[in-house]
Amino acid sequence: MTVYFDNAASTKMRGEAVDAMVRVMHDNYGNPSSMHHMGRQAAEQLAQSRKDLAGAIGARPEEVYFTSGGTESANWAVSGLAQAFSRRGRHVVTSAVEHDALLMPVKKLEGMGWDLTYIMPDSTGRVTPESFASALREDTVFASIMHVNNETGAVNPICEYSKEIQRRRLKTILHTDAVQSFCKIPFTAKSLGADLLTVSAHKIHGPKGIGALFIKSGINIAPLILGGGHESGNRAGTEALPLIAGFAEAARLGRLELDETAALVSDLKEYMIMRLSEEVPETIIIGDGGSPFLLSLSVPGYKSEVMMSFLDGEGICVSTGAACKKGSRSRVLEAMRLRNDVIDGALRVSFSRDNTQDEAERFVQSLKRAAASILKPL
């Protein structure tokens, strides 16, 4: 029987989201831009889904734009802000531990002559308010720091960054990647203070291939995809209504269940840490464990890829870090200045409401067997 502890990479779709998608595909297949009654019916579904997602974010419906996922949303935020506000300056602030969906487009700006400041995290994996404040300049066009790190679970104080920008009366626009915090950690767009905010469906038990970008009213960024008047002229392409309906339902229910789910996974994470300390005492817990949904750990002296392969053979799914890195050494853990043997032995365990204490115990016992049977490299 499979034990799935890789929910930061992707989650199992919940039945209600599947049902919403099937209903739209079967009964509501018109194009939302068409003028006939089937088109109007589809447009009504699109409007309701946008309202449901906006409610989960704590935003107004007109501030939510659907995309193909978190990667497109991050790319659009970077490209759109750079094009729209380059006259203000050519300086960008981000961190060295962002997801590649953000880092690669900002590096592209750097290659075009923009000035980039990459903030290093502290030993817990967080970007401190002090380091953020030091990086800001009068000509900082925008700043982008993720809310929850996808490898360590470190929670960054986005609201403190926003307050610093306001305190200094800067025109800097603040974007945050909230993919790993949406429907997992309580927040609203207003409480975070972010001007732009990225979310994704398949991290919250919704479908793959759909995400959204929150853009605060009054901020106009350049489109990334051209070709039509969809999404109020900001993102061309016929809206993927079945995916949108599934996303909206997953977000609506995820927000309603947030407190219950967070408490469940928090207890599960604490149990796993306790049992690891008893059964595999050489285990090192990485970071401050800000998010209850993510646990970064290491068994120094062992190669994480070998450990992960052993666990996979026992039916347990974990990762060595971000799924898109496919085994590459973690630059996030390197940026935290951890020892090489800790980095090389790192594993990421990520939870969902579907996980159980029995599964956590199975993981602990399998890791114990792995440590006892795998030879340490010389």
Question: Mind telling me the catalytic residues?
Answer: 324
Q: Where are the alpha helices (DSSP H) in the chain?
A: 15-27, 37-57, 70-85, 100-111, 129-135, 158-167, 189-192, 230-233, 241-256, 258-279, 304-313, 331-335, 340-344, 357-373
* CA separation for the pair 290, 208 (Å, rounded): 26
> How far is Cα 371 from Cα 342, in angstroms, rounded to an integer?
14
DSSP annotation of 79 reads: H
Task: Look at residue 108 and give its three-state secondary structure.
Answer: helix
The DSSP secondary-structure symbol of 319 reads: B
How far is the C-alpha of 238 from the C-alpha of 184, rounded, in Å?
30
Question: For residue 133, which of 97, 155, 161 has the smallest C-alpha distance?
Answer: 161
